[in-house]
Structure 1
Amino acid sequence: MPHIVGEVMTREVVEAHRETPFKSVAQLLYRNRISGLPVVDGDDKVVGVISETDLIRCQAARAAHGRARRTRIPPLRRSARRGAALARATTAQDLMTSPAITVHPEQRVADAARMMERHGVERLPVVDEEDRLIGIATRRDLLRVFLRTDDEIRQEILDEVVNRAMGLPPHVVVSVRDGMATLEGRLERRSDIPLLLRLAYRVDGVVGVVNGLTFRIDDARPSDKRSASRNDPA
Protein backbone atom coordinates (compact mmCIF):
# COMPACT_ATOMS: atom_id res chain seq x y z
CA MET A 1 0.00 0.00 0.00
CA PRO A 2 1.11 3.66 -0.17
CA HIS A 3 4.49 4.42 1.34
CA ILE A 4 4.68 6.78 4.28
CA VAL A 5 7.16 9.54 5.09
CA GLY A 6 8.73 7.57 7.94
CA GLU A 7 9.91 4.93 5.46
CA VAL A 8 11.85 7.32 3.23
CA MET A 9 12.93 10.19 5.51
CA THR A 10 16.54 10.85 6.45
CA ARG A 11 16.95 10.24 10.17
CA GLU A 12 20.33 11.92 10.68
CA VAL A 13 19.42 15.58 10.50
CA VAL A 14 21.76 18.56 10.36
CA GLU A 15 20.11 21.23 12.49
CA ALA A 16 20.70 24.67 13.94
CA HIS A 17 19.50 26.40 17.10
CA ARG A 18 18.07 29.87 17.49
CA GLU A 19 21.41 31.26 18.65
CA THR A 20 23.56 29.58 15.98
CA PRO A 21 25.63 32.34 14.29
CA PHE A 22 25.11 33.26 10.65
CA LYS A 23 28.57 32.05 9.67
CA SER A 24 28.05 28.70 11.41
CA VAL A 25 24.79 28.17 9.53
CA ALA A 26 26.58 28.81 6.25
CA GLN A 27 29.32 26.36 7.22
CA LEU A 28 26.76 23.67 8.11
CA LEU A 29 25.13 23.98 4.72
CA TYR A 30 28.43 23.98 2.84
CA ARG A 31 30.16 21.17 4.72
CA ASN A 32 27.17 18.85 4.59
CA ARG A 33 26.32 19.72 0.98
CA ILE A 34 22.71 20.54 1.81
CA SER A 35 20.53 23.44 0.73
CA GLY A 36 18.63 23.96 3.97
CA LEU A 37 18.11 22.87 7.56
CA PRO A 38 15.60 23.08 10.41
CA VAL A 39 16.02 25.30 13.46
CA VAL A 40 15.07 23.74 16.81
CA ASP A 41 14.65 24.99 20.35
CA GLY A 42 15.98 23.45 23.55
CA ASP A 43 13.33 20.69 23.45
CA ASP A 44 14.14 19.73 19.84
CA LYS A 45 10.89 21.27 18.64
CA VAL A 46 11.08 22.78 15.18
CA VAL A 47 10.71 26.56 15.25
CA GLY A 48 11.77 27.41 11.70
CA VAL A 49 13.79 26.49 8.65
CA ILE A 50 16.71 28.13 6.87
CA SER A 51 17.60 27.69 3.22
CA GLU A 52 20.48 28.84 1.04
CA THR A 53 18.07 31.40 -0.35
CA ASP A 54 17.67 32.96 3.11
CA LEU A 55 21.43 33.41 3.41
CA ILE A 56 21.69 34.89 -0.08
CA ARG A 57 18.87 37.31 0.67
CA CYS A 58 20.64 38.32 3.84
CA GLN A 59 23.86 39.04 1.99
CA ALA A 60 21.96 40.97 -0.67
CA ALA A 61 20.13 42.97 2.01
CA ARG A 62 23.44 43.87 3.66
CA ALA A 63 24.80 45.15 0.37
CA ALA A 64 21.63 47.12 -0.39
CA HIS A 65 21.48 48.52 3.14
CA GLY A 66 25.07 49.66 2.85
CA ARG A 67 24.36 51.49 -0.41
CA ALA A 68 21.24 53.09 1.09
CA ARG A 69 23.20 54.38 4.06
CA ARG A 70 25.87 55.86 1.81
CA THR A 71 23.29 57.61 -0.37
CA ARG A 72 21.00 58.46 2.59
CA ILE A 73 17.89 56.91 1.01
CA PRO A 74 15.18 56.51 3.70
CA PRO A 75 13.68 52.97 4.00
CA LEU A 76 10.01 53.87 3.46
CA ARG A 77 8.58 50.61 2.23
CA ARG A 78 7.86 47.51 4.27
CA SER A 79 10.17 45.47 2.02
CA ALA A 80 12.92 47.98 2.73
CA ARG A 81 12.34 47.63 6.46
CA ARG A 82 12.47 43.84 6.08
CA GLY A 83 15.68 44.24 4.13
CA ALA A 84 17.16 46.34 6.91
CA ALA A 85 16.24 43.64 9.44
CA LEU A 86 17.89 40.98 7.28
CA ALA A 87 20.95 43.16 6.93
CA ARG A 88 21.32 43.08 10.71
CA ALA A 89 20.76 39.31 10.95
CA THR A 90 23.46 37.56 12.96
CA THR A 91 21.82 34.31 14.13
CA ALA A 92 19.56 31.53 12.90
CA GLN A 93 16.70 33.19 14.78
CA ASP A 94 17.06 36.24 12.55
CA LEU A 95 17.39 34.25 9.32
CA MET A 96 14.82 31.49 9.64
CA THR A 97 11.41 31.27 8.06
CA SER A 98 8.81 30.63 10.75
CA PRO A 99 6.55 28.82 11.41
CA ALA A 100 8.03 25.78 9.69
CA ILE A 101 5.96 23.52 7.46
CA THR A 102 6.31 20.02 8.93
CA VAL A 103 4.98 16.51 8.36
CA HIS A 104 4.45 13.45 10.53
CA PRO A 105 6.08 10.09 9.77
CA GLU A 106 2.74 8.33 9.17
CA GLN A 107 1.69 10.73 6.40
CA ARG A 108 1.70 9.44 2.82
CA VAL A 109 4.65 10.25 0.60
CA ALA A 110 2.29 11.55 -2.08
CA ASP A 111 0.74 13.99 0.41
CA ALA A 112 4.19 15.22 1.46
CA ALA A 113 5.11 15.75 -2.19
CA ARG A 114 1.97 17.85 -2.69
CA MET A 115 2.85 19.94 0.37
CA MET A 116 6.30 20.63 -1.03
CA GLU A 117 4.82 21.67 -4.36
CA ARG A 118 2.11 23.83 -2.78
CA HIS A 119 4.51 25.73 -0.53
CA GLY A 120 7.48 25.77 -2.90
CA VAL A 121 9.90 24.14 -0.44
CA GLU A 122 12.68 21.60 -0.95
CA ARG A 123 12.46 19.82 2.40
CA LEU A 124 10.03 19.09 5.22
CA PRO A 125 11.08 18.51 8.83
CA VAL A 126 9.48 15.33 10.16
CA VAL A 127 8.15 15.63 13.71
CA ASP A 128 6.59 13.29 16.26
CA GLU A 129 3.30 13.78 18.11
CA GLU A 130 4.99 16.36 20.36
CA ASP A 131 6.43 18.27 17.39
CA ARG A 132 9.98 17.14 18.15
CA LEU A 133 12.31 16.71 15.20
CA ILE A 134 12.89 13.07 14.22
CA GLY A 135 13.94 13.35 10.58
CA ILE A 136 13.93 15.32 7.36
CA ALA A 137 12.15 14.53 4.09
CA THR A 138 13.72 16.04 0.99
CA ARG A 139 12.57 16.00 -2.62
CA ARG A 140 15.29 13.42 -3.27
CA ASP A 141 13.92 11.18 -0.48
CA LEU A 142 10.40 11.32 -1.91
CA LEU A 143 11.63 10.78 -5.46
CA ARG A 144 12.95 7.33 -4.52
CA VAL A 145 9.37 6.08 -4.26
CA PHE A 146 8.64 7.06 -7.85
CA LEU A 147 11.76 5.33 -9.16
CA ARG A 148 10.30 1.90 -8.47
CA THR A 149 10.41 -0.65 -11.26
CA ASP A 150 7.28 -1.66 -13.14
CA ASP A 151 7.60 -5.17 -11.70
CA GLU A 152 7.68 -3.84 -8.12
CA ILE A 153 4.58 -1.76 -8.77
CA ARG A 154 2.77 -4.67 -10.43
CA GLN A 155 3.55 -7.00 -7.53
CA GLU A 156 2.27 -4.51 -4.95
CA ILE A 157 -0.99 -4.03 -6.85
CA LEU A 158 -1.47 -7.81 -6.95
CA ASP A 159 -0.46 -8.48 -3.33
CA GLU A 160 -1.83 -5.46 -1.49
CA VAL A 161 -4.78 -4.35 -3.62
CA VAL A 162 -6.16 -7.30 -5.58
CA ASN A 163 -5.49 -10.01 -3.00
CA ARG A 164 -5.38 -8.36 0.44
CA ALA A 165 -7.58 -5.27 0.19
CA MET A 166 -10.15 -6.56 -2.29
CA GLY A 167 -9.91 -10.33 -1.71
CA LEU A 168 -10.44 -10.96 -5.40
CA PRO A 169 -9.74 -14.23 -7.22
CA PRO A 170 -6.37 -14.59 -8.95
CA HIS A 171 -7.74 -14.27 -12.48
CA VAL A 172 -7.43 -10.44 -12.33
CA VAL A 173 -4.46 -9.65 -14.58
CA VAL A 174 -2.22 -6.67 -13.81
CA SER A 175 0.41 -5.28 -16.15
CA VAL A 176 2.53 -2.15 -15.67
CA ARG A 177 4.56 -0.24 -18.22
CA ASP A 178 6.38 3.01 -17.42
CA GLY A 179 4.20 3.38 -14.31
CA MET A 180 0.95 2.98 -16.24
CA ALA A 181 -1.05 0.10 -14.74
CA THR A 182 -3.56 -1.90 -16.78
CA LEU A 183 -6.12 -4.08 -14.98
CA GLU A 184 -7.95 -6.79 -16.90
CA GLY A 185 -10.31 -9.61 -16.00
CA ARG A 186 -13.92 -10.22 -15.03
CA LEU A 187 -15.21 -9.31 -11.59
CA GLU A 188 -18.36 -10.59 -9.95
CA ARG A 189 -19.88 -7.16 -9.23
CA ARG A 190 -19.74 -3.92 -11.16
CA SER A 191 -19.40 -1.88 -7.94
CA ASP A 192 -15.98 -3.44 -7.23
CA ILE A 193 -14.43 -1.93 -10.35
CA PRO A 194 -14.18 1.77 -9.34
CA LEU A 195 -12.89 0.81 -5.89
CA LEU A 196 -10.21 -1.45 -7.37
CA LEU A 197 -9.13 1.28 -9.78
CA ARG A 198 -8.89 3.88 -7.00
CA LEU A 199 -6.79 1.61 -4.79
CA ALA A 200 -4.47 0.73 -7.66
CA TYR A 201 -3.99 4.41 -8.45
CA ARG A 202 -2.94 5.08 -4.85
CA VAL A 203 0.00 2.67 -5.10
CA ASP A 204 3.21 4.68 -5.09
CA GLY A 205 4.83 4.84 -8.49
CA VAL A 206 1.58 4.49 -10.43
CA VAL A 207 1.11 7.39 -12.85
CA GLY A 208 -2.16 6.20 -14.37
CA VAL A 209 -4.61 3.27 -14.50
CA VAL A 210 -6.21 1.74 -17.60
CA ASN A 211 -9.51 -0.04 -16.97
CA GLY A 212 -9.86 -3.32 -18.85
CA LEU A 213 -12.20 -4.91 -16.32
CA THR A 214 -15.65 -6.37 -16.97
CA PHE A 215 -18.33 -7.61 -14.56
CA ARG A 216 -20.94 -10.36 -14.28
CA ILE A 217 -23.58 -8.67 -12.11
CA ASP A 218 -24.56 -5.03 -12.51
CA ASP A 219 -25.31 -4.28 -8.86
CA ALA A 220 -25.47 -0.55 -9.58
CA ARG A 221 -29.04 -1.10 -10.87
CA PRO A 222 -32.17 -2.04 -8.87
CA SER A 223 -32.04 -5.68 -7.76
CA ASP A 224 -34.98 -6.72 -9.94
CA LYS A 225 -33.25 -5.36 -13.02
CA ARG A 226 -29.78 -6.72 -12.53
CA SER A 227 -28.19 -7.92 -15.70
CA ALA A 228 -25.02 -9.60 -16.84
CA SER A 229 -22.64 -7.66 -19.00
CA ARG A 230 -19.20 -7.96 -20.44
CA ASN A 231 -18.58 -4.25 -20.49
CA ASP A 232 -18.18 -1.64 -17.81
CA PRO A 233 -20.29 1.33 -18.89
CA ALA A 234 -18.62 3.38 -16.15
Structure 2
Amino acid sequence: MRTWQVRDVMTTDVATVGEKTPYRKIVDVITGRRVSAVPVVDDFGHVRGVVSEADLLHKVEWMGEPHERRIFEGHRRRSARAMGEAGIARDLMTAPAVTTFPHTSLVAAAKLMDREQVKRLPVVDDLGRVVGIVTRSDLLKVHLRPDADIRHDVAQEVLHRVLAVKDGTVRVEVHNGVVTLTGQLDRRTTVDIAGRLAGRVSGVVEVVNELRYEFDDTVLAGIDSWPGVPTGIA
Protein backbone atom coordinates (compact mmCIF):
# COMPACT_ATOMS: atom_id res chain seq x y z
CA MET A 1 0.00 0.00 0.00
CA ARG A 2 1.63 3.22 -1.18
CA THR A 3 1.14 6.40 0.82
CA TRP A 4 1.61 9.83 -0.69
CA GLN A 5 5.04 11.37 -0.39
CA VAL A 6 6.43 14.88 -0.66
CA ARG A 7 7.28 14.27 -4.33
CA ASP A 8 3.56 13.87 -5.06
CA VAL A 9 2.64 17.41 -3.99
CA MET A 10 5.82 19.52 -4.11
CA THR A 11 6.51 22.34 -6.57
CA THR A 12 9.46 21.49 -8.81
CA ASP A 13 9.77 24.85 -10.55
CA VAL A 14 11.47 26.47 -7.56
CA ALA A 15 12.33 30.16 -7.40
CA THR A 16 15.78 30.50 -5.79
CA VAL A 17 18.33 33.22 -5.14
CA GLY A 18 22.09 33.15 -4.65
CA GLU A 19 23.90 34.03 -1.45
CA LYS A 20 24.97 37.41 -2.87
CA THR A 21 21.61 38.33 -4.40
CA PRO A 22 20.77 41.92 -3.32
CA TYR A 23 17.68 42.80 -1.29
CA ARG A 24 15.83 44.49 -4.14
CA LYS A 25 16.32 41.52 -6.46
CA ILE A 26 14.97 39.15 -3.77
CA VAL A 27 11.87 41.33 -3.47
CA ASP A 28 11.47 41.21 -7.25
CA VAL A 29 11.67 37.40 -7.27
CA ILE A 30 9.21 36.91 -4.40
CA THR A 31 6.64 39.35 -5.76
CA GLY A 32 7.14 38.30 -9.37
CA ARG A 33 6.73 34.59 -8.63
CA ARG A 34 3.99 35.19 -6.05
CA VAL A 35 5.69 33.13 -3.36
CA SER A 36 6.22 33.88 0.31
CA ALA A 37 9.84 32.71 0.54
CA VAL A 38 12.78 31.55 -1.57
CA PRO A 39 15.60 29.11 -0.83
CA VAL A 40 19.10 30.56 -0.92
CA VAL A 41 21.47 28.27 -2.83
CA ASP A 42 25.18 28.21 -3.54
CA ASP A 43 26.80 27.78 -6.96
CA PHE A 44 26.15 24.02 -6.84
CA GLY A 45 22.47 24.27 -5.95
CA HIS A 46 22.94 23.33 -2.28
CA VAL A 47 20.41 24.95 0.05
CA ARG A 48 22.09 27.34 2.50
CA GLY A 49 19.04 29.04 3.96
CA VAL A 50 15.65 30.57 3.26
CA VAL A 51 14.61 34.21 2.86
CA SER A 52 10.96 34.85 3.63
CA GLU A 53 8.71 37.87 3.42
CA ALA A 54 9.05 38.19 7.20
CA ASP A 55 12.84 38.43 6.84
CA LEU A 56 12.50 41.15 4.21
CA LEU A 57 10.02 43.17 6.27
CA HIS A 58 12.66 43.88 8.91
CA LYS A 59 14.11 46.49 6.55
CA VAL A 60 10.73 48.21 6.38
CA GLU A 61 10.45 47.97 10.17
CA TRP A 62 13.77 49.74 10.71
CA MET A 63 13.42 52.18 7.82
CA GLY A 64 14.31 55.75 8.84
CA GLU A 65 15.92 54.80 12.15
CA PRO A 66 18.98 52.66 11.33
CA HIS A 67 21.12 54.22 14.06
CA GLU A 68 18.61 54.05 16.90
CA ARG A 69 19.97 51.60 19.44
CA ARG A 70 19.21 50.64 22.99
CA ILE A 71 21.80 49.91 25.66
CA PHE A 72 20.02 46.68 26.51
CA GLU A 73 18.54 44.88 23.52
CA GLY A 74 17.18 41.38 23.48
CA HIS A 75 18.48 38.77 21.05
CA ARG A 76 15.32 38.93 18.95
CA ARG A 77 15.55 42.72 18.60
CA ARG A 78 19.24 42.59 17.72
CA SER A 79 18.57 39.87 15.14
CA ALA A 80 15.73 41.88 13.60
CA ARG A 81 17.93 44.97 13.45
CA ALA A 82 20.75 43.02 11.77
CA MET A 83 18.36 41.76 9.11
CA GLY A 84 16.94 45.26 8.69
CA GLU A 85 20.42 46.54 7.92
CA ALA A 86 21.36 43.58 5.69
CA GLY A 87 21.66 44.02 1.95
CA ILE A 88 22.20 40.54 0.49
CA ALA A 89 20.60 37.11 0.83
CA ARG A 90 23.44 35.63 2.89
CA ASP A 91 22.77 38.17 5.68
CA LEU A 92 18.99 38.11 5.33
CA MET A 93 18.36 34.39 5.27
CA THR A 94 17.31 32.12 8.09
CA ALA A 95 19.91 29.38 8.34
CA PRO A 96 20.35 26.51 8.41
CA ALA A 97 17.28 25.75 6.35
CA VAL A 98 14.88 23.03 7.52
CA THR A 99 14.71 20.66 4.55
CA THR A 100 13.12 17.38 3.59
CA PHE A 101 13.45 14.72 0.90
CA PRO A 102 11.15 13.74 -2.00
CA HIS A 103 10.46 10.31 -0.47
CA THR A 104 9.39 11.72 2.91
CA SER A 105 5.79 10.88 3.75
CA LEU A 106 3.31 13.74 4.03
CA VAL A 107 2.70 12.83 7.66
CA ALA A 108 6.40 13.12 8.48
CA ALA A 109 6.68 16.40 6.56
CA ALA A 110 3.70 17.87 8.44
CA LYS A 111 5.19 16.85 11.78
CA LEU A 112 8.53 18.41 10.81
CA MET A 113 6.85 21.70 9.87
CA ASP A 114 4.96 21.76 13.15
CA ARG A 115 8.03 20.90 15.24
CA GLU A 116 10.25 23.48 13.55
CA GLN A 117 7.47 26.09 13.23
CA VAL A 118 8.06 26.68 9.52
CA LYS A 119 5.57 27.21 6.69
CA ARG A 120 7.51 25.54 3.91
CA LEU A 121 10.32 23.02 3.36
CA PRO A 122 12.89 23.09 0.58
CA VAL A 123 13.10 19.59 -0.88
CA VAL A 124 16.63 18.33 -1.51
CA ASP A 125 18.25 15.30 -3.07
CA ASP A 126 20.85 13.10 -1.39
CA LEU A 127 23.55 15.68 -2.16
CA GLY A 128 21.61 18.54 -0.60
CA ARG A 129 20.67 20.14 -3.91
CA VAL A 130 17.26 21.74 -4.17
CA VAL A 131 14.77 19.79 -6.30
CA GLY A 132 11.51 21.29 -5.08
CA ILE A 133 9.66 23.05 -2.31
CA VAL A 134 6.61 21.97 -0.31
CA THR A 135 4.29 24.25 1.64
CA ARG A 136 1.59 23.65 4.21
CA SER A 137 -1.10 24.15 1.57
CA ASP A 138 0.64 21.54 -0.63
CA LEU A 139 0.31 18.98 2.15
CA LEU A 140 -3.44 19.54 2.21
CA LYS A 141 -3.71 18.44 -1.43
CA VAL A 142 -3.85 14.83 -0.29
CA HIS A 143 -7.36 15.54 1.01
CA LEU A 144 -8.48 16.58 -2.45
CA ARG A 145 -8.27 12.98 -3.63
CA PRO A 146 -11.56 11.82 -5.15
CA ASP A 147 -13.64 9.55 -2.92
CA ALA A 148 -13.61 6.93 -5.69
CA ASP A 149 -9.81 6.74 -5.60
CA ILE A 150 -9.80 6.40 -1.82
CA ARG A 151 -12.43 3.67 -1.97
CA HIS A 152 -10.39 1.78 -4.55
CA ASP A 153 -7.28 1.85 -2.34
CA VAL A 154 -9.17 0.69 0.75
CA ALA A 155 -11.01 -2.08 -1.09
CA GLN A 156 -8.16 -3.33 -3.27
CA GLU A 157 -4.97 -2.50 -1.40
CA VAL A 158 -6.08 -2.93 2.21
CA LEU A 159 -8.86 -5.50 2.13
CA HIS A 160 -8.01 -7.56 -0.95
CA ARG A 161 -4.21 -7.43 -1.24
CA VAL A 162 -3.09 -7.08 2.39
CA LEU A 163 -5.84 -8.88 4.32
CA ALA A 164 -6.98 -11.26 1.55
CA VAL A 165 -10.64 -10.48 2.20
CA LYS A 166 -12.95 -11.84 -0.49
CA ASP A 167 -14.77 -9.33 -2.66
CA GLY A 168 -18.23 -8.54 -1.32
CA THR A 169 -17.41 -9.48 2.27
CA VAL A 170 -16.88 -5.89 3.36
CA ARG A 171 -18.76 -2.87 2.10
CA VAL A 172 -16.63 0.25 1.70
CA GLU A 173 -18.30 3.66 1.46
CA VAL A 174 -16.43 6.96 1.21
CA HIS A 175 -17.95 10.40 1.55
CA ASN A 176 -15.76 13.52 1.71
CA GLY A 177 -12.83 11.41 2.77
CA VAL A 178 -14.70 9.62 5.57
CA VAL A 179 -14.48 5.83 5.12
CA THR A 180 -17.22 3.59 6.50
CA LEU A 181 -16.60 -0.15 6.74
CA THR A 182 -19.54 -2.53 7.21
CA GLY A 183 -19.82 -6.30 7.05
CA GLN A 184 -18.41 -9.20 9.00
CA LEU A 185 -14.97 -10.78 9.23
CA ASP A 186 -13.81 -13.90 11.01
CA ARG A 187 -11.56 -12.47 13.73
CA ARG A 188 -11.62 -9.41 15.95
CA THR A 189 -7.95 -8.67 15.27
CA THR A 190 -8.66 -8.57 11.53
CA VAL A 191 -11.41 -6.04 12.14
CA ASP A 192 -8.98 -3.86 14.07
CA ILE A 193 -6.24 -4.14 11.46
CA ALA A 194 -8.67 -3.30 8.64
CA GLY A 195 -9.69 -0.10 10.40
CA ARG A 196 -6.15 1.00 11.18
CA LEU A 197 -4.82 0.29 7.68
CA ALA A 198 -7.78 2.07 6.08
CA GLY A 199 -6.87 5.11 8.15
CA ARG A 200 -3.42 5.16 6.59
CA VAL A 201 -4.68 5.42 3.04
CA SER A 202 -3.78 8.80 1.58
CA GLY A 203 -6.70 11.22 1.70
CA VAL A 204 -8.66 9.47 4.45
CA VAL A 205 -10.06 11.95 6.96
CA GLU A 206 -11.70 9.45 9.31
CA VAL A 207 -12.61 5.77 9.49
CA VAL A 208 -15.97 4.63 10.83
CA ASN A 209 -15.35 0.97 11.57
CA GLU A 210 -18.70 -0.81 11.83
CA LEU A 211 -17.30 -4.25 11.02
CA ARG A 212 -18.42 -7.17 13.15
CA TYR A 213 -16.52 -10.36 13.88
CA GLU A 214 -17.35 -14.04 14.44
CA PHE A 215 -14.56 -14.90 16.87
CA ASP A 216 -12.82 -12.80 19.54
CA ASP A 217 -9.25 -14.04 19.22
CA THR A 218 -7.97 -11.33 21.58
CA VAL A 219 -9.27 -13.40 24.51
CA LEU A 220 -6.91 -16.25 23.69
CA ALA A 221 -4.06 -13.81 23.26
CA GLY A 222 -4.76 -12.28 26.66
CA ILE A 223 -5.62 -8.87 25.22
CA ASP A 224 -8.47 -7.06 26.94
CA SER A 225 -9.12 -4.58 24.16
CA TRP A 226 -7.66 -3.39 20.91
CA PRO A 227 -7.46 0.32 20.09
CA GLY A 228 -10.16 1.48 17.73
CA VAL A 229 -12.37 -1.60 18.25
CA PRO A 230 -15.39 -1.27 20.58
CA THR A 231 -15.75 -4.01 23.15
CA GLY A 232 -18.78 -6.24 23.13
CA ILE A 233 -19.12 -6.55 19.36
CA ALA A 234 -20.14 -10.07 18.44
1:163-182 matches, within 5 Å, as 163-170=160-167, 171-182=169-180
Q: Relative to structure 2, which stretch is displaced further, 21-30 or 161-170?
A: 161-170
Instruction: Say whether the 8 Å CA contact 1:213–1:232 is kept in structure 2.
Output: no
Question: Please, which of 184, 189, 207 is the counterpart of residue 209 of structure 1?
Answer: 207
Secondary structure of the 1:191 match is helix
Are residues 1:110 and 2:107 paired? yes
Pair 1:199 & 2:197 matched: yes
Find out whether 1:22 has 2:23 as its counterpart.
yes
> Is the partner of 1:47 in helix, strand or coil?
strand
What's the TM-score once normalised by structure 2's chain length? 0.86
Instruction: Give the drift of 1:122.
Output: 2.4
Q: Which aligned runs of 4 or more in structure 1 are off by greater than 4 angstroms?
A: none
AA partner of residue 182 (structure 1)? T
- Superposed CA deviations along residues 197-224 of structure 1, whole A, max 9, x for unmatched, are 111111122111111111222221228x
Once the two structures are overlaid, the 10-residue window that deviates more, 54-63 or 17-26, is 54-63
What TM-score do you get using the length of structure 1 for normalisation? 0.86
Name the CA distance, whole Å, in 2 between partners of 1:46 and 1:97: 11
Q: Which moved more, 1:10-19 or 1:138-147?
A: 138-147
CA distance in 2 between counterparts of 1:14 and 1:100 reads 15
Which runs of 5 or more residues in structure 2 are unaligned?
A: 222-229
Partners of 1:19 and 1:219 in 2: CA distance: 66
| Alignment partners' CA distance in 2, 1:113 and 1:202 | 15
Contact 1:38 1:49 in 2 (8 A): yes
Evaluate the alpha carbon distance shift between residue 49 and residue 149 of structure 1 in structure 2; reply closer, same or farther with a 3 A threshold. same
Distance in 1 (alpha carbons) for counterparts of 2:17 and 2:106: 25
Q: Conserved in 1, the CA contact under 8 Å of 2:57 and 2:84?
A: no
**C-alpha contact (below 8 Å) 2:56/2:84 kept by paired residues:** no
Q: What is the deviation of 1:87?
A: 2.7
Asked whether the 8 Å contact 1:110–1:204 carries over to 2, the reply is no
- Check conservation: 1:62, 1:84, Cα contact below 8 A: no
Aligned match of 2:187: 189
More helix by share: 1
